Structure 1
């Protein structure tokens, strides 16, 4: 393994001698004080080759405190309050102070504004509205309003991470704006998670910016999240990760199957925004499993599968479920990495069902069918993810792997980040048949490295590390010269 700036390239013989010393120095420079997980956490032993085994990132002290403060009772109260509006259908009454989507909108705005008041001006809350002209599932011009809380980062405010839950609901008939549609699981549960995290984050300082948005119009066609994503794109915001929390209220399926310690995270492969030429290049050099969204999902598993959250993250290599779609798709369409959190087993007997009693059995998406301990654990997964992203350096940009030389080593290049606490970089690698990164090599504060390992045989990635040991998501390098 070797490490050097592009302007200083020693010969091959001296380079290999230099590499050994450089690796030792770099390891000391980028040494992470975060506790390492036990080796038993790995599914199999790492392959032979340069570097040390890759280990999950454990919570720092501030994150551990934050996760302990996630309040189950507040989450339950939020779900019950949202369900009590009767219906939150996008086409329901927007001016009734008691029932309908307008009443829910105003309540969410008031709650988030109260949390923001404790932020010292760092968190702002807005009603982001537009009029949707007639379209699919929108028969008449309809005002759609997102409630958006933005916590501005201290040192890297331009870098942004987003989570959403949709506060609209529906009955069996997606066009029925009158019948009761409490929407406890779908998706008061997701809104409750983002509201609880807004409360906890408002009093804390983060390096990057976090957006927590309760969006509308999801059931009618992702209208609210589509508008939010387009507004962020038009403003030139650098969105480096987004998560939709949609149907995270229970782990129990309609047949009684339970998996209370797991949450699914859907992550697409080859990005939809890629051109055919880019997709063809990716297929020819490998990396079908290395989209930015999949790297983001690996990051979530790395930082959120631990005793502090009490959860496992089951990454699903798909954009979303069959016949379904959530608000992360709006961000994927803009070319940003995004994923969807959802419960491991769905109860279709209650989802999108009208509130009724049949043979003594109550149906409908009611709070009684939610598991509030489960939602609390999903909130901790989200909290661990957001905090770890916002406190770490950004994902390295401009990552390339030199493919124009016939050699048995590998040269990687990338752009240096501008974070004030940036300590350096790590190269990660894995066998082409492995799903997770297996080895890591500390290379120091450089922008080029040559590794004594053939690019033909393994996959490489680059991630940034700060002085406190926080690691960024991995950047998968594109072929270059």
Structure 2
């Protein structure tokens, strides 16, 4: 059966939706970073009981901020404190690890979640030094402040699906906080639509003096981390190396940023993280959850992972005065816009394409909860972004006579009743949003 193009007017409710990003406060972001720095060090191995200094005091403060936000919205946030005991190369003795997480339950599909996170721990030059002052202003006081501010402004809204606000511990010791939250989500049975990890998002000038306050980098994996040998073989033959769900989240956020004249442009970095380094999005990718990392357009290496000191006229250390708070506010703005839209969209479907040895293409997918229609997309195999919005349909299949599948990639997005549209899921091996079936 041939699909029919349906022309749906944009519902008035979409245009009338509030813009929570307009409520973001640069002053609150600065105050939060300054407060985080005031704990002296937030090293994972620092004191968990001192009321004023160390990781324990910082976590307690973050929990208190979430509770204040929840009180302001009538108890709309559930605060949970997932914890475990970790050890490893950078944790020489077994150490209690705790994440501070606020959950804003969705009203219709609470098991569908989008996660925004930053890590609350900090470090100096020696990753095992839990004694020296480690201000951690940009790395990652900036990401933690972003998460707290996102909760403040988005908790005033209601969404059909759930938003998770997470401040993670143990990133500098081996991505332990990300792994803890990914494991917790799996235990809770979360259907993860997207993970937005924010790590080093509050500076605009590099260590060489180069400045870029117009862009934010967005990193995403290409081939899926949870791929099997069989799936990798299919990708080599039929495509999919550049169409993981994380990569399609990146494309979606980049398009979202293009529409905002007050925000930042996204520079997509098509690798899972920076060379030789990592972040808390990786444990989610390892489990098959779509995850991306926001980070500054240009890094300042003298002001991250450094003891506080001066050498040869150069000041070292991750301090507040090296940050750009208007820039941090714009990164926060983009995260809030993405979260608000993702929390309204359905899950992307899982399309499959049929077109071998025939002069036409058929695409099919399963219906997803919350979707009233679907959009079929098409792009050249060498094109970086989705190019052509082929048709909209309320059906769960479409036929394209005269289109030879060998020469194109196809994808499908899902649209809610209010017009909110999901990222595109690619009709390639491994293109589905969610962990792959266990072999």
The TM-score range, normalised by the shorter chain, is over 0.9
Partner Cα separation in structure 1 for residue 256 and residue 357 of structure 2: 37
Unaligned 5+ segments in structure 2 are 431-439
- Equivalent residue, structure 2, for 1:402: 354
Deviation at 1:129, TM superposition (A): 1.7
SS in 2 for 1:391: coil
Task: Tell me the alpha carbon deviations over residues 403-455 of structure 1, each in whole angstroms, 9 at most, x when there is no partner.
Answer: 4x521111011111121xx3201101111111011110233211111013211
Task: Tell me the alpha carbon deviations over residues 323-363 of structure 1, each in whole angstroms, 9 at most, x when there is no partner.
Answer: 11000001001111111100011111121111123455432
The match for 1:413 among 339, 364, 368 is 364
Given the alignment of the two structures, is residue 465 of structure 1 paired with residue 438 of structure 2, yes or no?
no
- Equivalent residue, structure 2, for 1:235: 188
Partner Cα separation in structure 1 for residue 16 and residue 310 of structure 2: 48
The match for 2:59 among 97, 105, 123 is 105
Given the alignment of the two structures, is residue 78 of structure 1 paired with residue 27 of structure 2, yes or no?
no
Q: How does 1:69-218 map to 2 (within 5 A)?
A: 69-132=23-86, 134-218=87-171
Partner Cα separation in structure 2 for residue 380 and residue 358 of structure 1: 36
Deviation at 1:61, TM superposition (A): 4.3
Partner Cα separation in structure 1 for residue 155 and residue 181 of structure 2: 21
Deviation at 1:255, TM superposition (A): 1.1
- The answer as to whether partners of 2:111 and 2:189 remain within 8 angstroms in 1 is no
Task: Tell me the alpha carbon deviations over residues 212-238 of structure 1, each in whole angstroms, 9 at most, x when there is no partner.
Answer: 100000000011110110111122210
Taking structure 1 as reference, are residues 425 and 261 closer, same or farther at Cα in structure 2, changes over 3 Å only? Answer: same
Partner Cα separation in structure 2 for residue 287 and residue 271 of structure 1: 9
Partner Cα separation in structure 1 for residue 200 and residue 392 of structure 2: 42
Partner Cα separation in structure 2 for residue 417 and residue 350 of structure 1: 46
Taking structure 1 as reference, are residues 61 and 178 closer, same or farther at Cα in structure 2, changes over 3 Å only? Answer: farther
Deviates more, 1:145-154 or 1:117-126: 117-126
- Equivalent residue, structure 2, for 1:388: 341
Given the alignment of the two structures, is residue 444 of structure 1 paired with residue 397 of structure 2, yes or no?
no
Deviation at 1:401, TM superposition (A): 0.7
Deviation at 1:307, TM superposition (A): 2.9
Query: How many corresponding residue pairs?
Result: 429
Given the alignment of the two structures, is residue 62 of structure 1 paired with residue 17 of structure 2, yes or no?
yes
Task: Tell me the alpha carbon deviations over residues 111-158 of structure 1, each in whole angstroms, 9 at most, x when there is no partner.
Answer: 1111011233331112222222x3221111111110001110111211
Partner Cα separation in structure 1 for residue 12 and residue 118 of structure 2: 31
Partner Cα separation in structure 2 for residue 184 and residue 60 of structure 1: 37
- Equivalent residue, structure 1, for 2:435: none
SS in 2 for 1:296: helix
- The answer as to whether partners of 2:99 and 2:169 remain within 8 angstroms in 1 is yes
The match for 2:282 among 304, 329, 342 is 329
Partner Cα separation in structure 1 for residue 426 and residue 359 of structure 2: 20
Partner Cα separation in structure 2 for residue 284 and residue 209 of structure 1: 37
Partner Cα separation in structure 1 for residue 255 and residue 160 of structure 2: 20
- The answer as to whether partners of 1:87 and 1:99 remain within 8 angstroms in 2 is yes
SS in 2 for 1:382: helix
Partner Cα separation in structure 2 for residue 236 and residue 304 of structure 1: 31
- Equivalent residue, structure 1, for 2:424: 474
Partner Cα separation in structure 1 for residue 127 and residue 429 of structure 2: 46
Partner Cα separation in structure 2 for residue 433 and residue 167 of structure 1: 40
- Equivalent residue, structure 2, for 1:245: 198
| Bigger-Rg structure (1/2) | 1
Normalised TM-score (structure 2): 0.94
Given the alignment of the two structures, is residue 278 of structure 1 paired with residue 278 of structure 2, yes or no?
no
SS in 1 for 2:173: helix
Task: Tell me the alpha carbon deviations over residues 10-52 of structure 1, each in whole angstroms, 9 at most, x when there is no partner.
Answer: xxxxx5xxx6xx22xx1x24x44599xxxxxxxxxxxxxxxxx
Deviation at 1:179, TM superposition (A): 0.2
Taking structure 1 as reference, are residues 479 and 322 closer, same or farther at Cα in structure 2, changes over 3 Å only? Answer: closer
